[in-house]
Structure 1
């Protein structure tokens, strides 16, 4: 199966646990990889105005993926989705931070683009609402059906 890895927002602003970084690093170099980095620009996404918080304006990915795309807000950019489509993959493996928000938003964008989003359930961390990510995994299974564990790859 031809697949790619989409790493969502593993960056200093979100203080990812070391086990997540280490687990994702194991996959780097084994398949094409893309990482997103969420940066703050209030003129594009009103995090401060609406939520009273925002990511850093200059964060960098803590994972050295093949390609890194900057985004503002929850959803991957159209350029990110087009790049993944250009790889002609059977599925896109998704991991990273904010299982029930940014990862789920990526799943919807991938699905709407005709790609098969597949969540790596043991390489994701939920938001402050549910750090376990269980809520996000349940939402993912409901909307997209496809999940795997890293040991299955």
Structure 2
């Protein structure tokens, strides 16, 4: 099986920059893709109580994909992992919002499931701690080694 693209939390609550949405939409047209959307449910994840903010209860993905998985918190839902495992991709390309938190959490989950997570470094934005995403890219490279760019993907057969 070919690569599959995982788009993490590119949704209105996180105000992704236009260049990020446009770049991910273009890449998603080239390959199978799935997305996660984080929604608020305080009974499942205490965002308001612990952090003083929360994502919307009804956000939608800003990128059209073949499947969208709703999550509550940092980790993708188990259903998404099961879906990806049945597709048996060569690798899972990961992009989206919050490189050093939500993307890294997805990477650990994919890695632990035996899938091959690869970060698309130029299609990520970090959290408010580091909007460049450089911290997250460094952590990804340290833990999973596999980092690519859109240009490098274009060069592959």
TM-score range, shorter chain: over 0.9
SS in 1 for 2:131: coil
1:28 shift after superposition: 1.9
TM-score normalised over the length of structure 2: 0.96
SS in 2 for 1:55: coil
TM alignment of 1:4-83, pairs within 5 A? 4-83=4-83
Number of aligned residues: 153
1:2 shift after superposition: 1.4
Aligned to 2:86: 86
Aligned to 1:103: 103
Question: Gaps spanning 5+ residues in structure 2: where?
Answer: none
Give the Cα–Cα distance (whole angstroms) in 1 for the partners of residues 67 and 139 of structure 2: 27
Give the Cα–Cα distance (whole angstroms) in 1 for the partners of residues 29 and 8 of structure 2: 17
Question: Gaps spanning 5+ residues in structure 1: where?
Answer: none
SS in 2 for 1:69: strand
